[in-house]
Structure 1
């Protein structure tokens, strides 16, 4: 069924922002992109999902390897003991020394699921070439491993504690998005409940209210 995702502002990347915009999704592909009224007129029988804030391309997590292999993502049942944030550094090393395959696999799956809650649809690679379990988990998640950097991108400086939020690396939307939204392209989208693009950057909250992966709504916060 064709679905229209509409938002007060659509930021395609590489093209002008669309006020009161919409993206029509047919299967896993983008069928149309533009002003809401034009998209609805072209697809009058489509289901419409209205979102607050900004609709953008799905994001790329540049520190995916560290988050999946050098962090432990606690099970909710461990929250009282371990908290909710990824464990890194000495805390991870202490756990890893006694972690069996099942527990590690659970951490990887939870890490991938939590990336989706931050608008991530692509992971910087290479990833899992010598780790079949990791490669399998990533493949099952539907997230795309994007090996090559986008043209003209400067090298990313990876330092400090890895963060599930792709914007924590300091890049803007053009740097952090997996690529532009284009008609015919794969429908990988993210929606953030913020009033303008500038609110995606800096230290303020940038709640991701929806993530669409190859046309499927895989995260919805409301």
Structure 2
């Protein structure tokens, strides 16, 4: 199925931004990138999704192991009375000693938080089968390599000097259809943390959409 994602601004990641741009997804691949009028004219039968914001390549979170294997995200509200609502790490996590099933459920909650921040891939090594299953079902890619230094954060844009530092790969025709849309006006609005993610698409599928 052809789906045309139109945004106020498209940032391909390796070339000039496209104001009033669009990305056409054909299944799980990108079929066309350009001004909305050009893409829509070339594919008049495509389903159209319109986003008010900036469409970028999907982001990479470089704290995958720390967040998914060494952090427990309580199930709010069901575990709030027992564990609170903040993630558990270190001694608190060791005291909880969650079973593999609970660790898998925590990883599932973590993946939803990552998708809600435009993340399409994580860096790290995942050894727990239930965690790997949760990540695979969420559609997230696991990249090899060392994790980033410093405290683990869900937000891949936190502390980034340039948004491109957090991009998984540029948007290109024939490449996987994985991208995100943020409620900002331009590239400068992406710098920092706490940027609202409107939608995250992986393999052409809408994995997150802000209510």
Tell me the TM-score normalised to structure 2 length: 0.91
* CA distance 1:111–1:64, change in 2 (3 Å): same
Q: Which SS does the other structure have where 2:24 is aligned?
A: strand
1:146 to 121, 143, 146: 143
* CA distance 1:146–1:44, change in 2 (3 Å): same
Identify which range, 101-110 or 51-60, moves more after superposition.
Answer: 101-110
The count of residues paired between Structure 1 and Structure 2 equals 210
Tell me by how many angstroms 1:198 deviates.
1.5
Tell me by how many angstroms 1:171 deviates.
4.6
Residue equivalent to 1:151: none
Once the two structures are superposed, what CA deviation does each residue of 1:64-95 show, in whole Å capped at 9, x if it has no partner?
Answer: 11001111111122245544442233333332
Residue equivalent to 1:180: 170
Tell me the TM-score normalised to structure 1 length: 0.87
Q: Which SS does the other structure have where 2:79 is aligned?
A: helix
1:207 to 196, 199, 207: 196
**Distance in 1 (alpha carbons) for counterparts of 2:80 and 2:51:** 31
Residue equivalent to 2:92: 91
1:134 to 99, 120, 131: 131
- Let me know the Cα RMSD of the aligned residues: 1.9
Q: List aligned pairs for 1:114-129, cutoff 5 A.
A: 114-125=113-124, 127-128=125-126
* CA distance 1:85–1:37, change in 2 (3 Å): farther
Structure 1 unmatched runs, 5+: 149-154
* CA distance 1:100–1:157, change in 2 (3 Å): closer
* CA distance 1:64–1:37, change in 2 (3 Å): same
Once the two structures are superposed, what CA deviation does each residue of 1:92-111 show, in whole Å capped at 9, x if it has no partner?
Answer: 33323xx2222111111111
